[in-house]
Structure formats: C-alpha cells, structure tokens
C-alpha cells in the first residue's frame, strides 16, 4: 500500500513537472527569451543541469508590473559573456529585465548549488535588475544570483 502511494506520488510529480515546465533552450543551443509584454518582467526562473550533457536548461515565467504606465522602451543587450566566463549584467538607466524599477535593491544568495535544479521566484513587488553567474570548468556548470529591486509605485 505504501509502495503504491509512493509510486503514484512520484508519477504525479513527474507529470506535473512535465506539464508546467516548458524549456526555452535545448542542449548546447543558445538561450533567447523575452517576456511577451513590454510591461512585464521575469518573476520565475527554473533550471536544471544534466551531467551527461554538461549543460543547463531554463524556463521563465513573466508577470505584469503594475507600476509601469505610459510608453515603454525595450532593447536587447546582446551577449553579456563568453562560454565558461562569468556573467555580471545590470540593466542600465534604472531598468530591469523587461521593464523599469528603482529602489531598495539587494542581491540574493546563490539560488542553486552545482549540478542542481533550481526554481527561483522573484518576491511580489520586486523585479530582477541584475544577473551574476560563475562557471566551474571541473563541474561544467554555473551558479546564479540576482539583484532584485522593489517596484516604485506611481
């Protein structure tokens, strides 16, 4: 009985993960993602590392930023690092990743360990302004942390 319950729980968990996660990149392929609305920002980042492929896949979810009013100007930064190189990118001019922010910014701790899955949710009322990532050649993986900023209400 316990074995049956455990099996059903595992199957349900695998099915839920398969349905809700839509990977935005494939193995050893570029990652290009942008929120569909200019008045949205990334609020969830999901990622896992596969030791066989020695690569990481990502999924993102966006949410509306309620304080954004009027026209919004968006631009792509282009590549911000080379292969196996660190990433430290901050949006210029008080911007955030696909939007606009401004006060009470702070850095998260590392959101993942080496070779591990992560599912990071940006707290309500905050947006991601910066991304910092380091690479380890021995592990062939990255760790990530984010600078998050409180949204200024208009």
Phi-psi category of residue 8: left, alpha or beta, with phi > 0 → left and psi -120 to 50 → alpha: alpha
Return the pLDDT at 33.
81
Return the pLDDT at 32.
77
Is residue 11 a part of any domain in this protein? no
Return the pLDDT at 133.
93
The Cβ of residue 95 has, within 10 Å, a number of other Cβ atoms equal to 19
Range(s) of the domain holding residue 116: 22-150
Q: How confident is the model at residue 71 (pLDDT cuts 50, 70, 90)?
A: low
Q: Which residue has the higher pLDDT, 150 or 79?
A: 150
Q: Which residue has the higher pLDDT, 103 or 60?
A: 60
Is residue 82 a part of any domain in this protein? yes
Is residue 12 a part of any domain in this protein? no
Total domains present in the chain: 1
Is residue 3 a part of any domain in this protein? no
CA distance 80 to 74: 17
CA distance 151 to 101: 5
pLDDT tens-digit series, residues 89-139 = 887 777 776 544 556 789 999 999 999 999 999 998 888 888 999 999 999
Return the pLDDT at 13.
45
Residue 148 near residue 127 (C-beta atoms within 8 A): yes
């Amino acid at each position: 009985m316990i074995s049956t319950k455990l099996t059903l729980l595992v199957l349900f968990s695998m099915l839920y993960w398969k349905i809700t996660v839509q990977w935005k990149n494939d193995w050893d392929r570029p990652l290009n993602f942008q929120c569909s609305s200019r008045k949205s920002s990334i609020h969830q980042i999901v990622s896992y590392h596969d030791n066989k492929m020695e690569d990481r896949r990502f999924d993102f979810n966006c949410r509306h930023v309620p304080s954004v009013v009027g026209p919004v100007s968006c631009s792509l930064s282009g590549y911000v690092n080379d292969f196996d190189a660190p990433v430290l990118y901050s949006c210029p001019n008080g911007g955030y990743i696909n939007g606009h922010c401004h006060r009470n910014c702070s850095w998260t701790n590392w959101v993942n360990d080496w070779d591990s899955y992560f599912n990071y949710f940006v707290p309500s009322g905050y947006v991601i302004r910066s991304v910092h990532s380091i690479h380890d050649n021995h592990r062939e993986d990255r760790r990530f942390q984010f600078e998050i900023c409180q949204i200024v209400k208009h």
